[in-house]
Amino acid sequence: MKHSIAFVTGATSGLGYAAARSLTEEGWSEIIITGRSFAGAKEAAAKLAAETKRPIFTPMELELDTPASVQSALAQLINQDRAIDLLLLNAGMVPGKKRVITAAGIEASEAPLMGHHQLTVGLLRANLLSPDGRIVITSTEPARGGVPMFKYTDLPAFAAKSFQGNRTAAVEALIRNGPNVKYAPNNAYADAKLIIAWWVAALARRLPSGMAVYAVSPGASNATNVARNAGPLLKYLMIPIVNLIPGMNQAPEIAARRYLQASEFGTDVSGQFFASAQGKFSGPMEVQRQPHLYDRASQEAAWLAVVKVSGVDLSNPAPLRPQDPKKVLY
């Protein structure tokens, strides 16, 4: 992969900011950083340039839960007509105690994926990802299961119970937090991150040869704004307690390094989900092998549901390529 242009979403603070700063050590020529407002992105770009002594940061406004904002960012990139080598989709949200539905009818923690999907597909359609480009998107350990207080939805069972076995309709219900879904913030978060892992697997089968995409959990790092909307129990009780547990609160710079590590992986592990070892939230990351992550029907249902909700699809998907859950462990 060339190290010319990197694009980082959610880069005004936390992991995105740390990742953008770390990319300067890799010899990138330009790093486009986005924020929910242009003023915020411009301020972050100036701060990063001052800290790194490298004026290579370009600010851009990108409100992922507003399709018009994503389309505006795409238009700017198309006008520049320069291919992106690394697309780092970092922006995300931990849902709060009360359910929040966006103007587009999407549950708040699911909204970033809709924007990231719109952005990614738009760049692919415009041929603005390098032939050997890399896409890295944030997921987290709850997507694999086994994390206390977080439980993802059993999609086949949910689809069978409420949608006559139609998994695409079931994923859409989760994205919209529809009438058949009982809202619980931690479970909504786990579902959002699992849908991301499935989306990545489906996207990998549609990418041109040479490109690759990975879902990556940065591991535990609580010094970010991702939980700004979380309920008081999580924000003021659980997180402070967790911060006292060794290995449960990495510095953002350490956590963000996982993004950079994944960006150097090959196409042989495209579509995989990388996270901490089972029972851990820091340390080396590895391919996650839980069977539900490799359920082809769920992967395709997630893709089709995101396409339906966002209204955006690839017009000419590449031939589907199989995945092997037993590939090399990193």
Give 239-290 pLDDT, tens digit per residue. 554 444 545 567 889 999 999 999 999 999 999 999 999 888 888 999 999 9
User: What CA–CA distances, in Å, run from 95 to 40, 232, 235, 243, 286?
Assistant: 22, 12, 11, 20, 26
How far apart are the C-alpha atoms of 124 and 20, rounded to whole Å? 22
| pLDDT tens-digit series, residues 208-236 | 999 999 999 998 776 555 554 555 555 55
- How many CB atoms lie under 10 A from the CB of residue 200? 26
For every one of its 330 residues, what pLDDT tens digit does the chain have, with 9 covering 90 and above? 678 999 999 999 999 999 999 999 888 999 999 999 999 999 999 999 999 999 999 999 999 999 999 999 999 999 999 999 999 999 998 898 899 999 999 999 999 999 999 999 999 999 999 999 999 999 999 999 999 889 999 999 999 999 999 999 999 999 999 989 999 999 999 999 999 999 999 999 999 999 999 999 998 776 555 554 555 555 555 555 444 454 556 788 999 999 999 999 999 999 999 999 988 888 899 999 999 999 999 999 999 999 999 999 987 444 433 444 443 332
- In angstroms, the CA 207 to CA 37 distance is 30
Distance of CA 140 to the CA centre of its chain: 9
pLDDT value of position 238: 52
Residue 27 has a pLDDT of: 87
Residue 4's region, left for phi above 0, alpha for psi from -120 to 50, else beta, is alpha
135: helix, strand or coil: strand
In the prediction, which pLDDT does 181 show?
A: 96
SS3 content of the chain, % helix, strand, coil (to 5): 45, 15, 45
CA distance 34 to 55: 16
The pLDDT, as a whole number, for residue 222 is 61
| Domains of the chain, each with CATH number or no CATH | 5-310 (3.40.50.720)
Residues contacting residue 103 through CB under 8 Å, at least 6 positions apart: 65, 66
Query: pLDDT value at position 94?
Result: 87
What pLDDT does 209 receive? Answer: 93
Q: What is the pLDDT of residue 234?
A: 54
What per-residue confidence (pLDDT) applies to 322? 40
Amino acid type, 103: A
The C-alpha angle with vertex 208 and arms to 194 and 75, in degrees rounded to 5, equals: 80
What is the distance between the alpha carbons of residues 265 and 256, in angstroms, rounded to a whole number? 15
Identify each DSSP E strand in the chain by its residue range.
5-8, 30-35, 57-61, 84-89, 129-138, 212-216, 273-276, 285-287
